[in-house]
Amino acid sequence: MTSPVLQTVALACERDLRLLFENLDLRLASGEMMQISGPNGSGKTSLLRLLSGLMQPTAGQVLLNGQPLNEQRGELARNLLWIGHAAGIKDLLTPEENLSWLCALHQPASREAIWQALAAVGLRGFEDVPCHTLSAGQRRRVALARLYLDSPPLWILDEPFTALDKQGVAQLEEHLAGHCERGGMVVLTTHHTLSRMPAAYRDIDLGNWAV
């Protein structure tokens, strides 16, 4: 069996004095996509935040490359890319400025690379306009342009298809599957039914670990 890059051991999560799930054991290896599903309130976003090091578990632990995640704070930006349900961009900055600032967290990108990434998500000609003038779908594309730059191998994405049109959804599906087929990894939540998945795909229903 391939050694996992990301692993949880007896993971438990409590929010607002309510235990959402417990004894959760997951393994994610190179080339795999894992979709986290479950009813509203089952802890899908909380789990992604735990896997990204943005929250601490109530019990259990998250391992990255066999080591506790909380001992690798300085390594996280080089190992994983988190894009949350909100676009996470600054409205007063341009798409280019947003991406330049975000990339500086792990690996700075050239202006040419940033413009190519924006072109890849359909934002050619919008590189230097303030993001507050863009539509919700365009702001989402600015955030997703990070996936077209030199990025870490592990992508953790919370509802990445939000506000995208049909063409944008199809393009993102293809890009995520291609990333896994090239040896990358994706963990995501989505209410969207995927039509393009890599061979190494799993759907994890958090309802099975509900308390």
> Residue written as tokens 């930006």?
77
pLDDT tens-digit series, residues 25-38: 999 999 999 999 99
Percent of the residues in the chain that have a pLDDT greater than 90, as a whole number: 82
User: Global pTM?
Assistant: 0.94
**Count of other CB atoms within 10 angstroms of residue 92:** 10
Q: What is the C-alpha separation between 151 and 103, in angstroms, rounded? A: 8
C-alpha span between 141 and 119 (Å, rounded): 10
- Is residue 141 a contact partner of residue 83, using CB atoms and an 8 Å limit? no
Domains contained in the chain, CATH given: 6-209 (3.40.50.300)
Give the pLDDT band (50/70/90) at residue 108. confident
- Lowest mean pLDDT, pick from 111-120, 132-141, 202-211: 202-211
- The angle subtended at Cα 51 by Cα 49 and Cα 54, nearest 5°, is 40
Average pLDDT value for residue range 91-110: 91
